[in-house]
Amino acid sequence: MTKFEGTFTNFKNEKLDEFYSAIGIPWVARKMMTASSPTIEISKKDDKWTIKTSTLMSSTSNTFQLGEEYEETMMGGRSIKNTATVEDNKMTISSQSDRGKSQRVMEFSDDGFIMTMTHEKTDIVAVRHFKRT
């Protein structure tokens, strides 16, 4: 199994603005988010995972257990309910909000991970590429 833990830097995005619009992120927040290249730190202690996302403007952190629902506050103040699972070299975070269901699949390799984000209602798919630092 590929190592999930580490620090990763975003270096490329595809259809990110369209995806953020579909899940209801306001225009100003969307523009700030798509203009930044976040760093994601993933760690695990016992059976709890933590994903910390940092940009020049803000930092968020979520700690969760696989298979258990947890709440995440998005930029702009909206809350979503998530459940995370791990299978092989993929971590999948399934989300539910007032804008419908979405999913983030992080497929890990030795070099980093590719995050594929799908919005169920609109079928919009965005892809983010992260390299291990």
Domain map (residue ranges) of the chain: 6-128
Which pLDDT band holds residue 76 (cuts at 50, 70, 90)?
low
The alpha carbon of residue 14 and the mean position of all alpha carbons in its chain are separated, in whole angstroms, by 14
CATH superfamily of 6-128: Calycin beta-barrel core domain (2.40.128.20)
Q: Per the confidence metrics, is the pTM higher than 0.85?
A: yes
- Per-residue confidence (pLDDT) for residue 1, from 0 to 100: 55
Kindly tell me if the per-residue pLDDT of 66 is higher than 60.
yes
Q: Tokens 């309910």 belong to which residue?
A: 81
pLDDT in tens, 21-58: 888 888 888 888 888 899 999 999 999 999 999 988 78
The model's confidence at residue 73, banded by pLDDT at 50, 70 and 90, is: confident
pLDDT (0 to 100) of residue 10: 97
**From its phi and psi, is residue 46 left (phi > 0), alpha (psi between -120 and 50) or beta?**
left
Least confident of 18-27, 74-83, 91-100: 74-83
| Of 82, 45, 46, 52, the residue nearest 67 (C-alpha) | 82
**Positive or negative CA dihedral for 74, 29, 58, 131?**
positive
- For the record, the structure tokens of 86 come out as 């791990």
Distances (CA, A) of 53 to 14, 81, 98, 120, 124: 19, 17, 23, 24, 23
Determine how β-strand 39-45 pairs with β-strand 70-73: unpaired
